[in-house]
Amino acid sequence: MKQRTLIMWTGFVMLAMSTGCQQGSRDWGRFVDNFIEGYFEANPTAAVYAGRHEYDGQLPDFSAEGLAQSSDWLKAQRERALGFETESLSEAQRFERDYMLAAIDGQLFWLEDAGWPYKNPAFYANPLDPSVYVTREYAPLEQRMRGFITFARGIPAVTDHARNNLRPPLPRTYVQLGHILFGGLAMFFEDDLPRVFAPVKDDQIQAEFQQANAGAVQALKGLDEWFTSLEATATDEFALGPELFKKMLWATQGLEITLEDLEASGQRDLERNLSALREACAELAPDKTIPECVAMVMGDKPKDGPIEEAREQLNTLKQFVVDQDLVAIPGEEEALVDTSPPFMRWNLAYIDIPGPYEKGLPSTYYIAPPDPSWSEEEQRAYIPGIDDLLFTSVHEVWPGHFLNYLHSNRTDSEIGRVFGNYAFSEGWAHYTEEMMWEAGLNEGDPATHIGQLLNALLRNVRYLSAIGLHTQGMTVAESERMFQELSYQDPGNARQQAARGTFDPGYLNYTLGKLMILKLREDWTAGREGREAWKVFHDQLLSHGKPPLPLVRKAMLGEDAGAAL
Q: Per-residue pLDDT tens for 294-334? A: 999 999 999 999 999 999 999 999 999 999 999 999 988 89
Rounded to whole angstroms, the Cα distance separating 379 from 376 reads 5
Beta-strand pair 363-367/349-352: antiparallel
Please report which helix (H) or strand (E) contains residue 320, including its range. Answer: helix 306-324
Angle at 246 between CA 244 and CA 251, to 5 degrees: 85
Chain center to CA of 234: 27
Q: Is 562 exposed, middle or buried (0-12, 13-18, 19+ CB in 10 A)?
A: exposed
Rounded to whole angstroms, the Cα distance separating 404 from 412 reads 15
Give the 3-state secondary structure of residue 349: strand
Specify which residues 336 forms β-bridges with: 364
- Count of positions (residues) in the chain: 565
Does residue 464 contact residue 270 with C-beta atoms inside 8 Å? Answer: yes
Low-confidence residues of the chain: pLDDT under 70:
1-26, 343, 346
Which pLDDT does position 529 carry in this prediction?
84
- The candidate with the shortest Cα–Cα distance to 383, out of 459, 456, 304, 487, is 304
Radius of gyration of the chain (CA): 23
CA 363 vs CA 78, 93, 336, 541: distances in Å: 33, 30, 6, 22
- The candidate with the shortest Cα–Cα distance to 326, out of 533, 116, 92, is 533
Q: What pTM was computed for the model?
A: 0.92
Domain boundaries, the chain: 2-233, 246-256+306-557
Tell me, what amino acid is at 517?
A: I
Does residue 302 contact residue 309 with C-beta atoms inside 8 Å? Answer: yes
* Helix 446-471, helix 422-438: angle, nearest 10: 150
Outline where 362-445 has alpha helix (H): 376-382, 386-396, 401-408, 414-418, 422-438
Rounded to whole angstroms, the Cα distance separating 514 from 549 reads 10
Which pLDDT does position 346 carry in this prediction?
65
Specify which residues 16 forms β-bridges with: none
Rounded to whole angstroms, the Cα distance separating 487 from 467 reads 16
Does residue 425 contact residue 3 with C-beta atoms inside 8 Å? Answer: yes
Q: How many CA atoms lie within 13 A of 69 on its CB side?
A: 16
Does residue 218 contact residue 154 with C-beta atoms inside 8 Å? Answer: no
Q: Is 401 exposed, middle or buried (0-12, 13-18, 19+ CB in 10 A)?
A: buried
3-class SS letters over 224-281? HHHHHHCHHHCECCCCCCHHHHHHHHHHHHCCCCCHHHHHHHHHHHHHHHHHHHHHHH
Specify which residues 275 forms β-bridges with: none
Specify which residues 363 forms β-bridges with: 335
- The candidate with the shortest Cα–Cα distance to 534, out of 443, 435, 456, 437, is 435
Give the 3-state secondary structure of residue 461: helix
- The candidate with the shortest Cα–Cα distance to 405, out of 435, 364, 439, is 364
Does residue 193 contact residue 155 with C-beta atoms inside 8 Å? Answer: no
Which pLDDT does position 26 carry in this prediction?
58
CA 200 vs CA 35, 267, 390, 423, 525: distances in Å: 38, 55, 38, 42, 56
DSSP-assigned states of every residue in 176-242: HHHIIIIIHHHHIIIIIHHHHHTT---HHHHHHHHHHHHHHHHHHHHHHHHHHHTGGG-BS-----H
DSSP-assigned states of every residue in 9-75: TT--------SS--TT---HHHHHHHHHHHHHHH-HHHHHHHT-GGGTT-----SHHHHHHHHHHHH
Give the 3-state secondary structure of residue 130: coil
Rounded to whole angstroms, the Cα distance separating 242 from 259 reads 8
Rounded to whole angstroms, the Cα distance separating 186 from 213 reads 10
344: left (phi over 0), alpha (psi -120 to 50) or beta: alpha
pLDDT tens column, 63-116: 999 999 999 999 999 999 999 988 899 999 999 999 999 999 999 999 999 999
Buried b (16+ CB within 10 A) or exposed e, 85-96: eeeeeeeebbbb
Angle at 554 between CA 433 and CA 89, to 5 degrees: 130
Give the 3-state secondary structure of residue 560: coil
Residues sharing a CB contact under 8 Å with residue 244, sequence separation 6 or more, in sequence order:
113, 114, 470
